[in-house]
Structure 1
Amino acid sequence: MFAALILTSFSAPPLAAGQSKWLGNIIPSSVPSNWDSYWNQATSENGCKWGTVQGGGAASFNWAQCDVAYNHCQQRGIPFKYHAFVWGSQEPGFIGSAGDQKGALTNLIKNAAARYKPDFIDVVNEALHAPSNIRNALGGSGSTGWDWIVTSFELAKSNFGSAKLLINDYGIVNDSGAVQRYLGIINILKGKSLLNGIGIQCHQFNVNTLAAATITANVNSLGATGLPVYPSELDINGNSESDQAQIYQRVFPALWTNTNIKGITLWGYITGQTWKDGTGIVEVGGRERAAMTWLKGYLETTKV
């Protein structure tokens, strides 16, 4: 969504170097020059979404932005997550009138599999909040109540033998009721051996006022499935720089030290280039905001 500006280069290792779980971030259309100084896992911000890849029509594929993130991960030897195949909010325009919608999705997945070997895949994104517009073509509710999700995971599993398949949604970490609805889907997929992990978006509108104890309780409810949990889109803002840092100090440790969580991905870090205003923790010129200063110190002293 945002073009990265050239930033001051650093030679420091990533923040989570030597830890048992990774701390990643998005890569937009180009890799910021200080990206490797902070992060050791990547997700393409918009480049792998179906609406981007086939925005030009059914007959064409544009992998350019997805390639940027994937190739960087390959060069650095760090995990890459493909985000995302099935999501109602960013589907290509042609799909609404496509005669074979399931075939179109199958074609997308097959072409992606021929090009990439991702470590993780968000197969279905925001099933509870933005379900796919082609879900009826994928089986609709069916016998499980979520057959369209089952079909999506079956297609992904048949084409990506080694990738860890994830489901991803927002409004989960802050809502025990949503956790239970999410678990309904998760347990169906787990029962069919289709799911390898649980994604929980952690945007500022869900976590800024959230108590650490609530985070712990809801993550533990998901972790009781025996599946790893991956906070996937963490961002935090505040009324001031110090307020943002204080929120990080409440939210981040509750996620990082939870043994059910195996990796965290922030959703941007450069001021003015993040999805939500005020969520940057490093200025364009390279100055680290108070939240980043705290985060660096915390990860130096808190080993998991």
Structure 2
Amino acid sequence: MLTCSESMSSMNSSGNLVINSDLSLLISFFLRGLLNSPLLNWVSSNFNSKLPPPKKGRSLRPSLIAAVTVMVVIATFATGCLRKEVPEGKGSLRIIYLGKNGFLISAYDGTPVSIVIDPFLPISEEERSKLPYQIPVSPSSLSESDLVLVSAECHEETLKAISKGEKPMFILPENCEVIPEERVLRPRELKLEELSLELKDIRSERGLGYWIRVKGIEILYLGTLNYSEELEGITCDLAIVPLTGDLKEKAKVISLVNPRTVIPCGFYTREDALKFYEYVMDFNPESEIVLLKPGEEYRYPE
């Protein structure tokens, strides 16, 4: 899994673009030291002594440096780009991007659990035609989920289609009244031990987000939040960040919770994503950023 801006980018095994600052810094500092190192001088002189003299004006030294550079890059990629280690004892998650600010998060360690966040899956062709991407799943395919969380995307058509299943319960903002009250949970905190699931809603004057712990992995879905005092003291492994409003403020919030991985969503241009990446690197350079297209899947941890 690798990364980054225009000058350094790559794909992980699932084809997801991942942005991480450690790689370029490592190679840069390594090569600066390598260029003048006694080791390279010794290798170069011994290597050159065993070959015919190079043509006038040419040297084998650049070729040797290039070969070493390639080996460094391969070795660095193979070790995972110096990502933060995942603590032992945690499960694994399958995360599917549904488009806009929507996600399906599933865990299969022990009792299966699935959570849908801010789904926006229009059924009508008129609404679908206005989107810059194809809807990856039908809302009815989510009707066996355990829990549906809504921060701001109270899309009536989508939520009613999901609610046709008997299983899902819904956590909704107060102004979202499209689901029968008996299917709606309104706790500030929720703990379902049989699903290894904990949840807290996080509020500010104009925003709502969710902190989730599932199978030991902590997720922050920032939703419509910028800063909130309720974020103080919260930690997370994974942060999902809708790119609306002030991107710099969003990045500052991310620095408070120090996630291993950040998944931005709700952006329509590469420029927005790269600008957000730059802000995150300013405030929290150890985080990696994963960019998903609607319908793409990401496994955490890989």
Judging by fraction of residues, say which structure has more helix. Answer: 1
TM-score normalised by the chain length of structure 2: 0.34
Tell which has more relative contact order, 1 or 2 (C-alpha 8 A, sep 6+).
2
Judging by fraction of residues, say which structure has more strand. Answer: 2
